[in-house]
Amino acid sequence: MSGKIELLNTTLAAAKAADRAALIAYLPAGFPTVDGGIEAVKAVVAGGADVVEVGLPHSDPVLDGPVIQTADDIALRGGVRIADVMRTVREAYEATGVPILVMTYWNPIDRYGVERFTAELAEAGGAGCILPDLPVQESALWREHADKHGLATVFVVAPSSQDARLATITAAGSGFVYAASLMGVTGTRASVGAQAQDLVGRTRATTDLPVCVGLGVSNAAQAAEVAGFADGVIVGSAFVKAMLDAPDEAAGLAAVRSLAGELAEGVRKR
């Protein structure tokens, strides 16, 4: 079975054709439980998310702030495994039909085996991977197997990335480019800032791939601001915080569905 990179491409193109940004939601697998995590993905899609990133919980995440680290700790204490991540992708995709990517650090894939990981992700109906710590110059093996299995390879660019570096990164990527709106770790911010707009402009000068902005967006007003200059708005910590703050799982699912609805309205206002 081939992965769903074409579904990702057509989903992002459809949002652009509708003159709006796509809403991309991030949620970790296994949080609050494996079953609960699958229900959370369904809830954000029901609320209006176009694409979902499923996080592979990691004990030493370099990009993730305290909110997502807390969720990862809960998932890891619950015994989450790569098999559970694949099950989350499969059941979420079968239930929603939207593109589902995995966001993961490189070490778990390296240990698991690149061929095994890409084959299983494609078989589960995954659309690709976001790999924040895989250097482009060391990515040939991954990209070979991702291409073979119809999976997108999404690299992360940052405000510190020089223009020549941006061109190297975007030439190697597929699906979309993940533009980190600011230096630092994930988390909600009072302002997403002008750095993100500058980064999107510089990245677009190097590629025709959609450029989607993450790190810091937590409400409809910020989503609308970012949607004014980006092809996609990525929201993670705000969804995870809504789940963490809820008194029980049912309330958490209602909260993330409601938040997705507000953010979806925001990206349509731009």
Q: How far is CA 112 from each of CA 82, 87, 106, rounded to the nearest angstrom?
A: 8, 16, 10
Rounded distance between C-alpha atoms, residue 7 and residue 13, angstroms: 10
Burial class (CB in 10 A: 0-12, 13-18, 19+), 1: exposed
- Assign 255 to helix, strand or coil: helix
Q: Catalytic one among 50, 53, 225, 231?
A: 53
Q: Catalytic one among 50, 64, 84, 231?
A: 64
Contact 128, 174 (CB under 8 A): yes
Contact 237, 258 (CB under 8 A): no
Gap between the terminal Cα atoms of the chain? 37
| 64 annotated active-site | yes
What sections of 97-193 are H helices per DSSP? 106-112, 114-123, 140-148, 163-172
DSSP string of 45-85? HHHT-SEEEEE---SS-SS--HHHHHHHHHHHHTT--HHHH
Q: Just list the catalytic residues.
A: 53, 64
